[in-house]
Chain A
């Protein structure tokens, strides 16, 4: 696949995503500056973590009006793969590509640690290589990861299996204790209705190289890449 990693002023996980795709998965990858409108021939886009525009006003609120986001919306609406990680997830909600809002963590702490995620839906393009209910150990690093959506939106997400990942314990038990930030229904990641846009607070790109502590994040990128290869056949 040919990937683009969007870079906003204040992005700081762009290189992690670039390195993971390029070095670990040997994908063709390039950066896309936030003022760029030409996505060229790209098959997948990563909106990386960080603090786009310093998180001024609200996380993702200003990035959402970057020129590149108009193109990302167009790309997503045509079925292109878009993955928003952490701040990228916040941008996707502000842009309306995913529902809900990431609010301040309920305990008002910046959380930076390895957490467990249970794969809730292993039939998406992002998770089809996961076992049902597989538990992944993936780090989070955020201050605004508290997923909120009004009851009707939450119901639609749940009814249509659009919750892709939930915070859980090591055994996959989802409860209040395993909820790090107050997210409704322990939501850590969701996808859009068409299934081509994923937003998640945890950082799978930081768990793809065994040198830095594990490879649980690999399955997500592998899933996307294999799904794209299947579709291209």
Chain B
């Protein structure tokens, strides 16, 4: 008897709890923490009822693929070039040209009109001059395997977008004529891992710098600045020989959305020059829209020119990345 009362009350609680949850626009994004909170807050203020699901870029990617037949997301926001390219190839997106896209430089527009990039970030090699004298700092990503840097640089979890991107940036330097990574490349990567502090989470990452010997940060630019702020130390970004991988993050509307109008309105709002400029001011992210960049603080405009980009064809790399990561995870790390 008591059991049935419990079941009945549970059913009632469910029935009342659900309609309230059904309406919000669901957005999958690797943007987490205060950035996610800011986006949610600003979107709400602008009249968009959104619900953010944030997780690591790799995890979100898996989730989107797994949910292919029952898509939960309406909008995908902030995944990097390679992930967006693969998701598009899987047929998960639909075409929509946001109102702000006409001013976007063509290399950030999508030929199929589905994925539009809105900001970019270099994945930088940076160091802490207090711990590592300027003269001794590495000059290139390929310098890291030198004995003097052993134990001084940190490689993050391979599920992180950032880690994946700089590993790819290193491996593309070793592509042979058939487009595969040469043995020399894998030897280099083995050495890179052998000399690295390898961490699985952000906590250990900070800890390696705070109390460990780490003095070289491989990170996306905003992450580098945030880490330096948390550590209360000065950080210097290296202008590397051979260039620095620059990734851009895009937004797309899912093919299976049942809230197309709301999704369009959100994408138009989020990518607009004003929102991008405010975000740049708040978090230092470099927007791609020329108008937004012009409205951004001077520091952000300088960051846009901070490093020389490494020429990388992300679309060509995207299909190979899984195999590379598998080799890294199973044999190298």
A associates with B? no
B residues at A contact (CB < 8 Å): none
